[in-house]
Structure 1
Amino acid sequence: MDLNRTPPQIADTASEEIRALNHLTLTNIEQVYPQPATVSDTATALGLLLQRLPQTLDQLEAGLQLLDRSGKIRLDTKPLGATLDEDIAQEVASVSSALAETRRLLRRAATSMADATGPLSHMGGMWDDVEEGAQP
């Protein structure tokens, strides 16, 4: 884990990795998912991502609130010096509300993903040769 990067750099890397996954799986699906285990492992990793994102958003919001309490936010929608504290408070509250809804939806998505990864974890590929006495 490389912690010598900024939060935007880390988030950008995560985004680019998901983009790479999307591109890789867009074509040649047989090659990139040759076995049920590959699907299962990918789904499990994505499920972990969904579980971790709410904490990420909690800490993002905490950073925003700290900046707000420290008076380090201005709005570019008004001339410098014309922004009222109430304007900033309203925008911060709007962001906080949207982040709370996003966290709620991510937790719901993580639960749904767990519903998918459970059955996936019990799937295996076909044997190359049929066992003696087994039904083909």
Structure 2
Amino acid sequence: MDLNREPQRIARMAASEVQELNHKTIDVKGYYGEDEDGLFISAVPPNVCATVEALIALTDRLPQALQQASRALQHAEERQVIRMADGSDVGDHVSRALRGLLDAEQAVKVANAHLREAGTPLAAMGGHVAEETEGSTA
């Protein structure tokens, strides 16, 4: 963990990782397993499960990040260091931003609950492995 990086850089890197996930899984084969014989589909259920578990961890952590951003904004407002580019009153804009951050926090918590709901049956899924029969290599 590198705490010497700026918060916005860390957030951009997290967004970049999610973008990479999205590109990797545009084709469902992104979830396939791979071995010396090539790709195999039976790894899809556990790979989807592991991905959902990681997204649960992400959504577990996002509310805190949003709360801390709100705290930083409130801190800056209290010290009267915020200026609006158009010269308008800061208070209304800060209030709107704080409301948006709070709404985002609540939405992430809802998404987390839905991911946990999806994760329960996923945890019990495995890929089907064909039984070997005489003369086959399955």
Matches within 5 A, 1:42-121: 42-78=51-87, 83=88, 87-121=89-123
Q: CA deviation at 1:31?
A: 4.6
Q: CA deviation at 1:128?
A: 4.4
Aligned equivalent of 2:29? 30
Q: Which runs of 4+ in 1 moved over 4 A?
A: none
RMSD: 1.6
Q: CA deviation at 1:39?
A: 0.6
**TM-score scaled to structure 2, two decimals?**
0.83
Count of residue pairs the alignment pairs up:
123
Selected match of 1:124 from 120, 123, 126: 126
Find the residue that maps to 2:128 and give its secondary structure: coil
Write the distance in 1 (CA, Å) between the matches of 2:130 and 2:5: 46
Q: CA 1:101 to 1:31, structure 2 compared with 1: closer, same or farther past 3 Å?
A: closer
Structure 2: where are the runs of 5+ without partners?
Answer: 34-42, 134-138
Percent identical pairs in the alignment equals 33
- Larger proportion of strand: 2
Structure 1: where are the runs of 5+ without partners?
Answer: 132-136
- CA contact under 8 A between 1:33 and 1:39: conserved in structure 2? no
Q: CA deviation at 1:52?
A: 1.1
**TM-score scaled to structure 1, two decimals?**
0.84
Larger relative contact order (Cα-Cα within 8 Å, sequence gap ≥ 6): 1
Residue identity in the other structure for 1:30:
K
Q: CA deviation at 1:121?
A: 0.5
- CA contact under 8 A between 2:46 and 2:126: conserved in structure 1? yes
* Stretch deviating more after TM superposition (33-42 or 12-21): 33-42
* Stretch deviating more after TM superposition (5-14 or 99-108): 99-108
